[in-house]
């Protein structure tokens, strides 16, 4: 990393208050700005310049938040943290994204593959299904996760505008995309980052298994899992 890029902050986005509250409380010299109703907290976390925001659930909220953060703060890396539904991994486990996909983007009637997105590159368009997270950040997060918790996984995280609480859908996500977790913001933040050529990472703690039990498991475990992902990030930030 060059000296110039080290001076840029790390951006941190969570969808819910419980996912960012602990990190915001630990920020030194917290300066806040409100843009489009989103509150951006800029300060130092363990000596590292950071900007932290809550975006509210969903792809549009999270993409707007990431875009504003990129334009206003020029982060060198954007990390999306929080909770997710596990696909074949246990409640309380941690999943770090190797790649992100949007499972609800469906152009298949026109012959394009499921999840195949297009973005503009000037007059041209570029298509992709999966976006790769920053390899180094993902490795560091996974390594730290493994030293603290038993169940730490690297894999595809699937994003869509739906809370998944259906075992058949969860199996389909694994068979179709190789997903290990499902949530509602990771891949839209990844897309905003990719369009702006900013590296990203996604870290999620599993609050439920995206099945019939999820409506009960999510409220029971989300807070504890949100704390877990925030604590891991706080412990790891100086290495990122
Ligand atoms: N109004 C609720 C909405 C929660 S939506 C609230 O704010 O409490 C669920 C959130 O947790 C989303 O941000 C999503 O990323 C994550 N999540 C956890 N389990 C999920 C699942 N099974 N399917 C989709 N998203 C899930």
Q: What is the DSSP string of the chain?
A: --HHHHTSPEEEEESSHHHHHHHHHH-EEEEEEEETTEEEEEEEETTEEEEEEE--SSHHHHHHHHHHHHHHH--SEEEEEEEEEESSS-TT-EEEEEEEEETT---GGGTPPTT-EEEEETTEEEEES-EEPPHHHHHHHHHHHHHH-S-EEEEEEEE-SS----HHHHHHHHHHH-EEEEESSHHHHHHHHHHTT--EEEEEEEEE-SSTTHHHHHHHHHHHHHHHHHHHHHHHGGG-
Q: Tell me the CA–centroid distance for residue 230 and ligand 1, in Å.
A: 16
Q: What is the pLDDT of residue 135?
A: 98
Q: Is 144 in the pocket of ligand 1 (CB under 6 A)?
A: no
Q: Which residue has the higher pLDDT, 149 or 59?
A: 59
pLDDT digits (tens, 9 = 90+) for 67-99: 999 999 999 999 999 999 999 999 999 999 999
pLDDT exceeds cutoff 90 at 3: no
- Res. 233: pLDDT tops 90: yes
Cα of 121 vs centre of ligand 1, distance in Å, is 32
With a 6 Å cutoff on the Cβ, whether 184 touches ligand 1 is yes
Rounded mean pLDDT of the chain? 97
Q: Which residues are catalytic?
A: 19, 208
pLDDT tens by residue, 116-174: 999 999 999 999 999 999 999 999 999 999 998 879 999 999 999 999 999 999 999 99
CB of 185 within 6 A of ligand 1: the answer is yes
Ligand 1 atom closest to the Cα of residue 19 is 13
């Amino acid at each position: 990393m060059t000296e110039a890029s080290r001076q840029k902050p790390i951006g941190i986005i969570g969808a819910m208050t419980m996912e960012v509250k602990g990190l915001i409380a630990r920020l030194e010299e917290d300066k806040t700005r409100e843009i489009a109703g989103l509150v951006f907290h800029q300060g130092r976390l363990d000596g590292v310049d950071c900007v932290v925001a809550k975006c509210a659930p969903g792809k549009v909220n999270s993409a707007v938040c990431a875009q504003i953060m990129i334009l206003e703060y020029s982060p060198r890396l954007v990390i999306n943290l929080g909770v997710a539904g596990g696909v074949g991994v246990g409640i309380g486990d941690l999943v770090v994204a190797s790649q992100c996909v949007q499972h609800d983007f469906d152009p298949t009637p026109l012959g394009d593959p499921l999840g195949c997105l297009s973005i503009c590159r000037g007059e041209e368009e570029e298509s992709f299904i999966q976006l790769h997270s920053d390899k180094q950040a993902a490795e560091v997060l996974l390594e730290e996760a493994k030293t603290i918790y038993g169940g730490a996984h690297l894999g595809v995280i699937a994003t869509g505008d739906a809370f998944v609480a259906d075992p058949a859908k969860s199996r389909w996500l694994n068979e179709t995309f190789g997903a290990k977790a499902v949530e509602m913001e990771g891949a839209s933040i990844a897309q905003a980052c990719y369009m702006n050529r900013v590296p990203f990472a996604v870290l999620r703690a599993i609050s439920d298994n995206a099945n019939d039990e999820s409506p009960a498991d999510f409220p029971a475990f989300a807070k504890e899992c949100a704390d877990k992902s925030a604590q891991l990030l706080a412990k790891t930030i100086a290495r990122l």
